[in-house]
Amino acid sequence: MSMVVENLAEVEKHICEACARAGRSRDEVTLIAVSKTKPVSMIEELLPGGTRDFGENKVQELVDKYEVLPKDIHWHLIGHLQRNKVKYVVDKACLIHSVDSMRLAETISEEGVKKGVTVPVLIEVNVAGEESKFGVALEETEGLVREIAKLPSIQIKGLMTIAPYVEDPEENRVHFSRLKQLSVDIKNKNIDNVSMDVLSMGMTGDYQVAIEEGATMVRVGTGIFGERNYNI
C-alpha cells in the first residue's frame, strides 16, 4: 500500500471518530484531498479507492490536471482567484471556495453567462480577522451575500474560512463555531438564490475540531500527501 493511500486511511479514521463525537453521520462530511503542487501520479494513487474530490490553489494547475485526469473528478478551487483567471476555471471547478468581493463575483457571473453555466461558489470569510488573509469580514458577509445573490449564473452554496495556523487546534474552535453560527443566521434569512448547505473549514491541523463544529467539507493536503514541494 502506498504512503498516500495509508495516510488517507488514517485521515478517514479521524473523520469517522470526529463525526461520532459530534453525533454526525460520516456522509455529512466531504473530504477534499488538497493536491496542490503534487504530481498527477499521486492523485492517481487515490482514484482506485474512490476519492474524487481534489483541491487546487492555482487555476493553471487545476486546468492542467483537469485535462489529463478522469472527468468524474470534482475539482475544488480553494486558493485566491484573480479576476483575469476566472474564464479558465468557471466550467471546470465544481466549486469555487474563495469568493470574497463583489468584483470577483461579477467576473464569475459574466464568464458563467458567456459559457452557459451556473457557477457554484462559497463566500470566503476571514473569521479571525487576520490581516494576512483574504476573505470578507464576519460582519460584512451577509451584505455581500445579498448583493452577489442578485447576479446571474452564480450560486452561493455556503461559506468557507481559512483558520489561523495554530499548534493547538482547540484554539480554532471559536472561529469554526462563529462561521457555523453565521451560516445558520444567513440561512434563516431565506435569501433567494442562496443556500448555506456547505461549510468549508478545517485543514490538516484542525479538521477534527472543524467537523465537531459543523464542517461539511474539510481540506486536507499535508495529512494525505505529506509536506508540500514548492519546487514543482
CATH at 71: 3.20.20.10
Report the pLDDT value the prediction gives residue 232, as an integer from 0 to 100: 41
Report the pLDDT value the prediction gives residue 17, as an integer from 0 to 100: 98
* Measured distance CA(103)–CA(109) in Å, rounded: 10
Q: Residue 36 corresponds to which cell in the numbers above?
A: 496542490
Average pLDDT over residues 74-95: 98
Amino acid at 168: D
Report the pLDDT value the prediction gives residue 229, as an integer from 0 to 100: 54
Q: pLDDT digits over 178-192, tens only?
A: 999 999 999 999 999
Per the prediction, the chain carries an average pLDDT of 96
Q: Do the domain assignments include residue 14?
A: yes
Q: Do the domain assignments include residue 231?
A: no
Q: Do the domain assignments include residue 163?
A: yes
Average pLDDT over residues 210-232: 86
pLDDT more than 90, % of the chain: 96
- Which residue intervals of 23-167 are DSSP H helices? 40-46, 59-68, 86-89, 102-115, 141-148
Asked if pLDDT for residue 93 goes beyond 90, the answer is yes
Asked if pLDDT for residue 103 goes beyond 90, the answer is yes
Q: Do the domain assignments include residue 230?
A: no
Report the pLDDT value the prediction gives residue 187, as an integer from 0 to 100: 98
Please say whether the beta carbons of 75 and 54 come within 8 A: yes
Asked if pLDDT for residue 90 goes beyond 50, the answer is yes
Comparing 85 with 132, which gets the higher pLDDT?
Answer: 85
54 beta partners: 33, 75
Domain holding 213, by residue range, is 3-225
Kindly report the pTM of this predicted structure: 0.96
Asked if pLDDT for residue 114 goes beyond 80, the answer is yes
Q: Do the domain assignments include residue 203?
A: yes
Please say whether the beta carbons of 205 and 221 come within 8 A: no
Number of domains in the chain: 1
Asked if pLDDT for residue 102 goes beyond 90, the answer is yes
Report the pLDDT value the prediction gives residue 228, as an integer from 0 to 100: 56
Report the pLDDT value the prediction gives residue 194, as an integer from 0 to 100: 98
Report the pLDDT value the prediction gives residue 199, as an integer from 0 to 100: 98
Amino acid at 45: E
